[in-house]
């Protein structure tokens, strides 16, 4: 009989007033007993809405059934038949908008904790399973993958399993993309990311780090080196700014610069890592998405006394995950909603204060959200030591500038055929944030899977022609 409890088995967590001073993981994970208990809440629906809600189509009811029976390795095999990065996805996927969002148990009560169970299974495998060498017959056909983030890793892993000779060209000194530079240690431990990436490298994927495609080598030159297809998964690392006075002052960061220094360059471990980040006592983070929450919670852990989220709409419109908003509030982050920055004031070249205006909500705009409207005469000034801009990113222009025949949107994203991820340039495919703009890890992975399938079908059809 299924467990008909209306609530998920609670996930153990660090106390908020302890965790906001350290970079250890917030959520501590299920025990075996907790995982098996939560798994019995699954009804094993015949129509499996959770599977269609998953961008990579993990066989969710099947893996959960194995967890309920204590067959954790079998559950891992089922998950990784579709998802190469389950420990990561179990932690950072917005399950509430995807698999769990359509779970039948969510109609009356809380959905099954699919993400928590995926995380448990992946962690259990890492801690207990013996490493087995991959048994793959190589076909000798070379495919290049540009970018070692979620989209590129997924595409590379799927193609490697099919026997292709895959090489990832990564601009930074570490694989992982946003997993390494964007998501903080307390949400996604970097040792875990590195270990999960190893499972893809172990499939025989070659890695070329510190290679900026478009500068070190072009896409056309990759074809000259006998690569039969190229997948571009280079992400969206170019920060957006507001265009207000004072953004060039010292003490103003783009969120991705701030988070890269702290995460990839390990500023959180200063002085053991020589990358200090000055935050001061009062920090303002402009934006309301997951990146803004990550930046605010990171600033708090680096020692700031007061950290503000400044967002021009209300709480209902915050685009961040509800869990991240909840955790931020627990940790003492102050939310200044219906507020918009107008100017950053400085003194001797450094941030001194931020001037804001109160906002009201008018008629819905093209996004369906109510349009923020300034309240006349409501300007006010807050003393501030640091300002972090977290209002979005766009793709780096290098690839589009150095690749003739590659069509892009005005905002910089590469244009693809949605069904195949093929671009306007022959044998060039793209997916993830470089196509959509900054989105989620799992959507990028879904694009990588789709592209791998298309590349395989195209190459095989050419061989068999």
- Write out pLDDT tens, residues 219-255: 999 999 999 999 999 999 899 999 999 999 999 999 9
pLDDT number for residue 276: 86
Q: How confident is the model at residue 1 (pLDDT cuts 50, 70, 90)?
A: low
pLDDT number for residue 393: 92
Q: How confident is the model at residue 33 (pLDDT cuts 50, 70, 90)?
A: very high
pLDDT number for residue 111: 97
pLDDT at 290 over 80: yes
pLDDT number for residue 128: 94
pLDDT number for residue 315: 93
Give the pLDDT confidence of 342-401 residue by residue, as tens digits.
Answer: 999 999 999 999 999 999 988 888 878 788 999 999 999 999 999 999 999 999 999 999
pLDDT number for residue 18: 97
pLDDT number for residue 321: 92
pLDDT number for residue 367: 77
Q: How confident is the model at residue 463 (pLDDT cuts 50, 70, 90)?
A: confident
pLDDT number for residue 164: 97
Rounded to whole angstroms, the Cα distance separating 163 from 460 reads 12
Q: How confident is the model at residue 37 (pLDDT cuts 50, 70, 90)?
A: very high
| Residue 131 half-sphere exposure toward CB, CA atoms < 13 A | 9
pLDDT at 465 over 80: no
pLDDT at 133 over 80: no
Give the pLDDT confidence of 170-203 residue by residue, as tens digits.
Answer: 999 999 999 999 999 999 999 999 999 999 999 9
pLDDT at 330 over 70: yes
Q: How confident is the model at residue 269 (pLDDT cuts 50, 70, 90)?
A: confident
């Amino acid at each position: 009989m299924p467990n008909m409890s209306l609530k998920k088995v609670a996930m153990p967590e660090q106390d908020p007033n302890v965790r906001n001073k350290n970079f250890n993981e917030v959520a501590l994970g299920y025990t075996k007993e907790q995982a098996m208990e939560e798994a019995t809440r699954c009804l094993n629906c015949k129509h499996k809405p959770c599977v269609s809600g998953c961008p990579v189509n993990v066989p969710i009811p099947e893996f959960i059934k194995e967890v309920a029976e204590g067959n954790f390795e079998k559950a891992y095999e089922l998950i990784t038949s579709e998802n190469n990065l389950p420990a990561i996805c179990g932690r950072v996927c917005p399950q509430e908008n995807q698999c769990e969002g359509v779970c039948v148990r969510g109609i009356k009560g809380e959905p099954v904790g699919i993400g928590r169970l995926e995380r448990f299974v992946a962690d259990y495998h890492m801690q207990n399973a013996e490493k087995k060498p991959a048994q793959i017959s190589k076909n000798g056909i070379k495919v290049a993958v540009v970018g070692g983030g979620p989209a590129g890793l997924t595409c590379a892993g799927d193609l490697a399993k099919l026997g292709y000779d895959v090489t990832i060209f990564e601009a930074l000194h570490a694989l992982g993309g946003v997993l390494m530079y964007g998501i903080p240690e307390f949400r996604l431990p970097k040792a875990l990311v590195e270990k999960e990436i190893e499972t893809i490298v172990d499939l025989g994927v070659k890695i070329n780090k510190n290679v900026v495609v478009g500068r070190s080598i072009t896409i056309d030159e990759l074809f000259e080196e006998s690569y039969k297809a190229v997948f571009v998964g280079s992400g969206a690392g170019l920060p957006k700014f507001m265009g207000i006075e004072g953004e060039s002052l010292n003490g103003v960061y783009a969120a991705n610069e701030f988070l890269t220094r702290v995460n990839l360059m390990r500023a959180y471990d200063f002085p053991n890592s020589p990358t200090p980040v000055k935050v001061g006592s009062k920090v303002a983070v402009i934006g309301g998405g997951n990146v803004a929450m990550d930046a605010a919670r990171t600033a708090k852990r680096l020692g700031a006394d007061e950290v503000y989220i400044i967002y021009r709409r209300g709480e209902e419109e915050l685009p961040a995950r509800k869990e991240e908003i909840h955790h931020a509030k627990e940790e003492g982050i102050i939310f200044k909603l219906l507020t918009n920055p107008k100017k950053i004031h400085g003194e001797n070249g450094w941030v001194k204060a931020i001037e804001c205006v109160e906002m009201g909500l008018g008629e819905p705009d093209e996004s369906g959200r109510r349009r923020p409207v300034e309240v006349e005469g409501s300007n006010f000034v807050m003393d501030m030591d640091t300002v972090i801009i977290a209002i979005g990113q766009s793709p780096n222009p290098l690839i589009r500038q150095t690749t003739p025949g590659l069509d892009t949107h005005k905002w910089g994203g590469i244009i693809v055929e949605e069904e195949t991820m093929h671009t306007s340039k022959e044998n060039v495919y793209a997916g993830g944030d470089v196509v959509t703009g900054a989105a989620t890890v799992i959507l990028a992975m879904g694009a990588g899977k789709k592209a791998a399938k298309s590349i395989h079908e195209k190459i095989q059809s050419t061989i068999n022609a």
